[in-house]
Structure 1
Amino acid sequence: MYKKITLVALLAFLPFSLLAWGVEGHRVIGKIAENHLSKKARAQIQQLLGTERLPLVSTFPDEIRPYPEFAHTSPWHYVNTPVGLGQDEYIRTITTMEKPNAYRALQEQLQKLKDPATSKEDKVFALKFIVHIVGDVHQPMHTATAETSGGNKIKVKFRGRESNLHSVWDSGLVDYPAITYLEMAQQLDHATKSEVRQWQQAVPATWFWESYQLSQPLLTEAEQHPDLDYTYYPKYAPTVEQRLLQAGIRLAGVLNEVYGG
């Protein structure tokens, strides 16, 4: 169903704004999830991926986006809704949205992964997208408003360079500490049993709602103060770290559920 594509070749021309959470962020999430897999889920995933691992396949959906045959997957990375929705209205909006979006894609790929009739090749494809989408939707800008195109239309300056709010949250804040994804995963992966239980009990629509809520003041602040100075990273690093950790814990929960772990 898909071609094997080298990461190096693709990253040479893949637009920066498309790297949701950046390579490092997605790999952090994949590694944290890997740490929390049940034995059964781990064995089933290894059977599908072979020598590949969750952290490294986490960026596959970004790697294939420039190819015309995968153009239909572009909307699978986000969901944009109007500004100012309450929780019930927001959840109703994303769960009934007919056009392709991250929520719909996640449900479809989970169903394919669970279906015994799905071919191994299609299950591998579905798994890689699940890993990626769960990460994407914990990044606030991937559920931000349609009016701002997920923060892409909000021009800002970060660390003295011209950028946009979406890119800052995709990669700028994650890359700021300049440590490897393994180091970051080790640093962040200290959720309590209570937190793991609470985060995994939340349904996917709640994950989207959390990010949507986070995105609203971020958009307003950046529109009013587009020069993101040296105080921006320390102010929002805790939010970034929590969303990365929650994404990893919840990804593990989803995969453990799929495989009855």
Structure 2
Amino acid sequence: MRTLLVMLLCMLGGQSALAWNGRGHALVAELAWQALTPEARADVEALLEGDLDARGEPSGRDRLTQIASWPDEIREHERANNPAAYRGWHSRTNQVCSEALGKCPKGLCVDEIIVTQTQILADLQRSHRERNEALKWVVHLVGDLHMPLHSGEQGAAGSKPAQLSGKKQKSGSTLHTVWDDALLDAAVKGWKIPALDERPTQPPYSPAEPRRWMLESRDVSRDSVFAGLPGFACGQPTPDQFELDAAYQAASVPVIRQQILLAAQRLAGLLNASLR
């Protein structure tokens, strides 16, 4: 399993994304692939035949890991002409200090889009292209939903500057981007991933599950992203910037690993239930 992880990190070393970096999305996809039934694997392979990239050109991609970041690619491509393209699709702004759900205008938020794209994926009356793109959306968005800050925010705190104590990092890093990138990379480095039979089991997929997953991730955001921040308390203004000390960084490791494993197992269950 370590060989697999090293391979993914090397293969995707230049990719980045706005929720889990490209390496994180690829890892979720690969771990989900391992948990698919033979029938679901065969359907995934068939759906990836003739895959197109964000420009509508043949991509040559034939593995789940390779298409896991396509939704970020198509968003960036479309935003060149339409800045609002796919706005809201990758997250839902639930406030961690509230039980109320964040807004989801016209059903365009991560949990509801997972449900609608899963319905398209499972519908054999849909075209090959529609089901191919639905597969790519589902693979990516299940990963996004499990990134805590995509399911739980506190005002605009996730967009405030964040510095990792004792670490070099990209200029302009925010609390959100640090969790997407630097903390994720630190969590997967040297990770001995559990064998398939040691990973968390999950209830069968149903359309009610994505919302449950999202609310669980919101609570993870409250308890693991925000609760450990210096100066954070519900009902109080958040600091203008955050210094994330070594203890905070170390505490993020098991959280990120747990979220990746949950995303992978839940994605596998969704695909196994939707493909035949």
TM-score for both structures, normalised by structure 1:
0.79
Q: Which moved more, 1:192-201 or 1:35-44?
A: 192-201
* Within-5 A mapping of 1:175-214: 175-176=185-186, 179=189, 187-190=192-195, 192=197, 195-198=200-203, 203-214=209-220
TM-aligned CA distance change 1:79 to 1:204, over 3 Å: same
Q: Is 1:228 equivalent to 2:234 in the alignment?
A: no
**Given that residues 78 and 136 in structure 1 are in contact (C-alpha distance below 8 angstroms), is that contact kept between their aligned partners in structure 2?**
yes
CA distance in 1, matches of 2:168, 2:204: 36
Letter in 2 for 1:44: D
Q: Which moved more, 1:124-133 or 1:47-56?
A: 47-56
What do the CA deviations read for 1:167-209 (whole angstroms, capped 9, x no partner)?
Answer: 1111111212574xxx85xx32435468324586881111101
Counterpart of 1:85 in structure 2 is 98
Identity of aligned residues (%): 28
CA distance in 2, matches of 1:125, 1:19: 19
Q: Is 1:75 equivalent to 2:88 in the alignment?
A: yes
Q: Which moved more, 1:97-106 or 1:39-48?
A: 97-106
Q: Is 1:33 equivalent to 2:32 in the alignment?
A: yes
CA distance in 1, matches of 2:115, 2:201: 22
**Given that residues 32 and 189 in structure 1 are in contact (C-alpha distance below 8 angstroms), is that contact kept between their aligned partners in structure 2?**
no
**Given that residues 69 and 140 in structure 2 are in contact (C-alpha distance below 8 angstroms), is that contact kept between their aligned partners in structure 1?**
yes
Q: Which has the higher contact order (CA 8 A, sep 6+)?
A: 1
CA distance in 2, matches of 1:49, 1:203: 26
**Given that residues 76 and 105 in structure 1 are in contact (C-alpha distance below 8 angstroms), is that contact kept between their aligned partners in structure 2?**
yes
CA distance in 1, matches of 2:205, 2:274: 13
CA distance in 1, matches of 2:91, 2:143: 11
Q: Which moved more, 1:96-105 or 1:234-243?
A: 96-105
Letter in 2 for 1:247: A
Counterpart of 2:4 in structure 1 is none
TM-score for both structures, normalised by structure 2:
0.75
Q: Is 1:124 equivalent to 2:137 in the alignment?
A: no
The structure with more helix, counted as a fraction of residues:
1
TM-aligned CA distance change 1:130 to 1:222, over 3 Å: same
Letter in 1 for 2:106: E
**Given that residues 139 and 243 in structure 1 are in contact (C-alpha distance below 8 angstroms), is that contact kept between their aligned partners in structure 2?**
yes
Letter in 2 for 1:257: A
Q: How many residues align?
A: 235
CA distance in 2, matches of 1:120, 1:20: 27
Letter in 1 for 2:162: V
TM-aligned CA distance change 1:234 to 1:142, over 3 Å: same
Counterpart of 1:100 in structure 2 is 108
**Given that residues 200 and 249 in structure 1 are in contact (C-alpha distance below 8 angstroms), is that contact kept between their aligned partners in structure 2?**
no
Q: Which moved more, 1:108-117 or 1:206-215?
A: 108-117
Q: Is 1:168 equivalent to 2:178 in the alignment?
A: yes
**Given that residues 96 and 219 in structure 2 are in contact (C-alpha distance below 8 angstroms), is that contact kept between their aligned partners in structure 1?**
no
**Given that residues 97 and 154 in structure 2 are in contact (C-alpha distance below 8 angstroms), is that contact kept between their aligned partners in structure 1?**
no
> Out of 137, 150, 158, which is 1:142 matched to?
150
**Given that residues 154 and 223 in structure 1 are in contact (C-alpha distance below 8 angstroms), is that contact kept between their aligned partners in structure 2?**
no
How far residue 76 of structure 1 moved from its aligned partner, in angstroms, is: 1.0
- Partner SS for 2:163: strand
Letter in 2 for 1:45: V
**Given that residues 65 and 73 in structure 1 are in contact (C-alpha distance below 8 angstroms), is that contact kept between their aligned partners in structure 2?**
yes
CA distance in 1, matches of 2:153, 2:27: 26
Runs (4+) of structure 1 moved beyond 4 Å? 191-194, 198-202
- Partner SS for 2:162: strand
CA distance in 2, matches of 1:178, 1:247: 15
